[in-house]
Chains A and B, each alone.
Chain A
Amino acid sequence: MCAKCFSGLARWGTTLMDEASSWNYEDWAELIFSNFFNEENAGEEILFAVDDAVLAEISGLSEEGGATSLARAVKSRVSGQWRLASISDTTRVWKRQGGNGAHPALPALALTVLAASRMVADGTFAATNYYVPLRRALDPNDRDVGAPGDFRTAILDLWESVREWSQVDLGGDLGILKAETNQPHFPFIAPALQHAFLRSSDLHRLDAFFRILGFEPGGEPPSAGELRRALGSWTSNKNEPWARRLNNACLEDENNELYKHCERLLAREARRWDGMPRDSRTGRAVGRLGLAIKSRRHPELQFYAKWDERLGAEVELELPALGSKSLQREEDFEWFAPNPLGEFGPSLIDDWLSNGVELGGDPTRFELQGAAAHVLRYDDSMARYVSVESMTIGLPHLVLTRCVHVEQVESFLSPLAEEGVLARGPVQVSDDPSLADWRLVGPFSIDSRPTSRPPEVLAQYLSSGIGLSLRLIGGLRVGLGLRTYLRGGEPSIGLNELAESAPQLYQVGLDGDEVELPLESEGEEVPLWEEHLEPGHYKIRQGLATVSLEIIDGIVAEAGPDAGSVRLGGSIEGTFAHGRDVVARPWMVKAPIGIRESSLLGAGGPSEYATVCLPKWFNHALKLVEGGGNLDWKCIDAWTSFEPVWQVLESRSGGQPELHLLNDRRPNAQGSFAADTDWSKALSKTPLAEDAPEAAALLLQAYREVIEGNRDA
């Protein structure tokens, strides 16, 4: 049976389950190969976290059935005497024949990891404790103790063989399965322990952890050591089994050095974290279930399946009490239809809200993380409030939480939200007793990131300054780099609460030399802009952590890329209307003297008369706003539809108006016009300026003759 068939068939029907329970060793090798090795894991170490639950999941059998089937298959090769050498022999033959398909050692190694997971579940690490579950994994009736058969002589070579195959022969294209085989403590069981100390499902929790850490998807993660210490701190006050396992994995134990393996895992997860859930075993996308609420007044809690670009357009989902349902993506929308998924009972909804839910599906399962609080935001396309992974500053949100958390949520949000928005009080989401404890708070918008730590129930939705790692927050980033900021737009430094030391600031010279600069660091965040740093390179250190940044004045000469690419109405860019006719330019005329306006006269008769004055109001405004500055003019712009020929100005000496010639143009007034127009009176009665040339006098005479001639007419 081909490997690809397993992943699909394993879930369906009792007939197939009977088949699965009789799978042979090669069948299990292919099953494990197809479920742990794929292109999503390319270049990355595989977490070979085999436990009863995983075996059940990949085989479609019960937990007991999966483990029993695997054991039967392995026993068929190693016998009850634990002859791992037979697998070594098989491996040599397989390699000589081309080494195609699954590595023959996979089922045997899986069994050793299964045994380690059972030992971890019991909570004690010791060689004496390991071999008992190892023996009983193969044969429940095995009452012997100690390393079985040739386990100690063969096991490390098998691990190394698998590593070489996955890393070298396959080029790491489907992931790398490796384990440290030179551990000084528990050397023969250490490889299995390295893959058993965490479950795949435990790594799901890292999504919330990364958010609380303030780590952004695709961003530069803290160092592996810092991640481990932060995770240890985060899980230290939690009692759930997953938290206990994660916390134990983070402990620096010289005896098992699992913490180093933990660091590698954390670094891997941080590198590939894109803010979306993934199956840590296969690296494949896991679908998300969303919560939807109709309105504050009529909540009507519902669930739907979210679509994202990692998923195809069609999925099959197993719904409780409703069976298998085929879902199709609604075109251009980010959900699958039907939406909502179906009607679910209040007690089920309460359970899902608190504890989460995982729905089996093809090609992938869908999950909803349980939480003490769910944050929702309005989705215009769905006309509902829908659950989100994080709050966005400036957008309205609702918080769905239990009664016991309402007060702390409200008292945290009140100072941040717009005044009065929380005055309406929380709303009960349902009259049903199963959901009576849940309340809706909001809607509210917060305008800026909080400076104090949010309550635990909101921590994963909203980052604050202090956290579990040293990092840069906010700022005006420019350019292609992640850490280049404009001068004046420097970020805040978010401090690491795990570090006992205060942060230190260093300027890095061109030669790499570091000069420490004074840094005020009271409070949970340090606003770097208050340091008024000059452009250059800088480092901030706190304990073992370091972050770097660069400050610059600017990059571009006139405007950044694609300036002007957005246009209002398709043609307006700023104040420029593309494609419009050019507007006529103003004429330049002499600036009026004093406070009076000045008249302008054209050649075409009374219709060509206008006045112009100095914009003294603008001068006043400048003085009012800036407290200084005195604008004066020798020339001024005149926005007339005609070309000014004459200008009436007060004389410099006595204040009497004078006529000044601006352009030598003969009169061309057409038709008759009223006698006492402003144009006529100005030309007839205003004396020519004293310094006017003789030609001006002649031209003026021509204008006056036209006026006289019109009067006579």
Chain B
Amino acid sequence: MHDLSPGGELLQWASEMGSGRWGQFRASAEHLARKHGLKKRPWNLARELSSLGHLDIDWEARRWSIAKPTLNVVPGLGLCVVLTGSRPYHFLQSFRDAVDDPSVFDFQMRQSEPHESAPAAIFAKCANLEVVEKVASRTNARFVVDPSTSLAASMPSLGDQQLVLAAPPDLDLDTEWFNPYNVEWEECEDRGDPKEGLYRQALTERRRHLWHEADRWWKTDLAYGQFRALQGEGQRVMKWQSATTNGGQSSCLEVRRYVRLPDLAERALTICDGRMPSRGHRSDGDGHVYERYSNVPEGIYHELARRLGQLPTTEGGGEVNA
């Protein structure tokens, strides 16, 4: 069960450490990027661990902590519980012992492109809920039922966002404006009156984002900034598709690439099948690339879309190309 992916090794290290400062995490991520020949920024590796529900990061305080080991019972996976959180070596040994049972079948799935660096998903197919509880008890892991619903319900809405006033930025400093119509970033070259909307500046390790409206500037989160801009333009960037009745195709939610979901939304969606989203084009040929999350219940999609100012658009059929 030793996960040799860069993310797997990073997860093992973070599990042993338990918590720490961002500088320590960055150094370890940099080492693994070097070891695996990976051209990926440390905070991107951290984001993958966070999206998968293993790690929580406070970017303001620049601190992180690993979540305690958790067995997640997820609707639609046939009682294949997903293991998230801490995975130190000794825990994985005890997990292996705990699932060495005729009523449990454990397996793991590597992440597919473009997230192949992320830790493999670990599952344990259990005969019933009592077996799940037994495994959780043997490993001292937490036991959570339908985490998506709680995570989606906990996610702040667009209207809940507390914007913090900021000084007007120097637009000379590598600044870009988010075009919600094209869903693209455009460089700010001119010094004229800046357009209203979302801006970003690549001055620090992670870009900083600002919202401009009515001659004032506010600090904002990238995800909420984008969805605020998209809402203003009436742009729909999320599409949900139901499952086929024979179970051959799961339900899925597609989100336009380059649109960032809030951390809790990301986590609520990845836990639906325990894996990072895949990437592809839609078969109706709109030309856009989408991040595709599998096994997303319609209720979760509605909850997230409502909170992000995206009116729900559902489709009952049509094939989706991988």
> Do A575 and B86 touch (CB < 8 A)?
no
Using Cβ atoms and an 8 Å threshold, which residues of chain B touch A583?
Answer: 145-146, 149-150
Q: Which residue of B lies closest to A564 (CB)?
A: B68
The reply to whether B250 and A565 contact each other, CB–CB distance below 8 Å, is no
Residues on the A chain within 8 Å of B167, using CB: 383
Separation of A631 and B79 alpha carbons in the complex (Å): 11
Choose from B15, B153, B246, B263 the contact partner of A580 (Cβ within 8 Å).
B153
Which of B107-115, B227-235, B282-290 is near enough to bind chain A?
Answer: B107-115
A637 within 8 A of B: yes
Complex: A584 Cα to B73 Cα, angstroms: 11
C-alpha gap A611/B12 in the complex (Å):
40
Q: How far is the CA of A474 from the CA of B42 in the complex (A)?
A: 14
A321 within 8 A of B: no
Instruction: Pick from A400-408, A495-503, A613-621 the stretch touching chain B.
Output: A613-621
Neighbouring A residues of B27 by C-beta, 8 Å: 393, 474
Nearest opposing residue in chain B for A530, CB measure: B35
Q: Are A631 and B105 in contact (CB under 8 A)?
A: yes
Residues 633-650 (chain A) with a chain B CB within 8 angstroms: 633-637, 639
Which of the residues A378, A448, A575, A622 comes within 8 Å of B151, measured between beta carbons?
A: A575
Interface size class of A (residues with CB under 8 A): 35 or more
CB-based contact B76/A615 at 8 Å: yes
Closest A residue by C-beta to B55: A574
Name which residue of chain A comes closest to B28, CB basis.
Answer: A476
Assess the A556–B31 pair: CB atoms within 8 A: no
Chain B contacts for A489, CB-based, 8 A: 9, 13, 28, 31-32
Q: Is the Cβ of B16 less than 8 Å from the Cβ of A474? A: no
Residues on A with beta carbons closer than 8 Å to the beta carbon of B61: 566
Pick the contact of B174 from A443, A596, A615, A622 — CB < 8 Å? Answer: A443
Quick check: B154 and A625 within 8 Å, CB to CB? no
Contact partner, A574, options B32, B68, B108, B146, Cβ 8 Å: B68
Q: Are B264 and A488 in contact (CB under 8 A)?
A: no
Residues 544-585 (chain A) with a chain B CB within 8 angstroms:
553-569, 571-577, 580, 582-585
CB of A425 to closest CB in B, whole Å: 15
Instruction: Output the nearest chain B residue to A617 by Cβ-Cβ distance.
Output: B250
Please tell me which one of the listed residues B86, B205, B245 contacts residue A613 in the complex, with CB atoms under 8 A apart.
B245
B91 at the A interface (CB under 8 A)? yes
Given A295-B173, A559-B66, A631-B80, do A614 and B31 touch, yes or no (CB 8 Å)?
Answer: no
Chain A residues near B68 (CB, 8 Å)?
A: 558-559, 563-564, 573-574, 576
Q: Say whether A576 contacts B70, CB under 8 Å.
A: yes
Q: Report B150-185 CB contacts with A as 1/0, cut-off 8 Å.
A: 110110100000000001001011100000000000
Residues of A near B47 (CB, < 8 A) are none
The contact of A557 among B90, B170, B205, by CB within 8 Å, is B90
Whether the pair B107, A396 counts as a contact (CB closer than 8 A) is no
B76 contacts A394, C-beta separation under 8 Å? no
Number of interface residues of B (CB under 8 A): 104
Q: Does B96 contact A (CB under 8 A)?
A: no
Among B75, B88, B129, B250, contact of A554 (Cβ-Cβ < 8 Å):
B88
Chain B residues with Cβ below 8 Å from A297 are 172
> Quick check: is B267 within 8 A (CB to CB) of the other chain?
yes
Given known A-B contacts A295-B173, A631-B105, A635-B127, A566 and B53 have beta carbons under 8 A apart: no
Given contacts A383-B170, A393-B30, A489-B31, contact A574 B85 (CB under 8 A): yes
Whether B4 is near chain A, meaning CB under 8 Å from some CB there, is: yes
Task: Tell me whether A557 and B66 are in contact (CB under 8 A).
Answer: no
Task: Choose one: A295, A475, A478; the contact of B172 (CB below 8 Å).
Answer: A295
Contact B67–A617 (Cβ < 8 Å): no
Residues of B within 8 A of A476 (CB): 9, 12-13, 28, 31-32
Across-interface contacts of A447 in B (CB, < 8 A): 30, 33, 39-41
The one of B35, B63, B89 in contact with A566, judged by C-beta atoms closer than 8 angstroms, is B63
Say yes or no for A296: interface residue by CB 8 A criterion.
yes
Given known contacts A295-B173, A560-B18, A637-B75, A613 and B247 CB-to-CB distance under 8 angstroms: yes
Known contacts A556-B16, A576-B70; 20 additional CB pairs below 8 A are A296-B174, A445-B41, A447-B40, A474-B31, A476-B9, A557-B140, A558-B88, A558-B139, A559-B66, A560-B15, A560-B18, A560-B66, A564-B67, A566-B57, A595-B248, A615-B78, A621-B294, A622-B107, A635-B127, A635-B128
Residues of A within 8 A of B (CB): 294-298, 378, 380, 383, 392-396, 443, 445, 447-449, 474-476, 478-479, 486, 488-489, 491, 527, 529, 553-569, 571-577, 580, 582-586, 588, 595-597, 611, 613-618, 620-622, 625-626, 629, 631, 633-637, 639
Closest 10 CB pairs of A and B: A560-B18, A574-B67, A554-B89, A559-B86, A613-B247, A378-B203, A562-B19, A575-B147, A474-B31, A577-B150
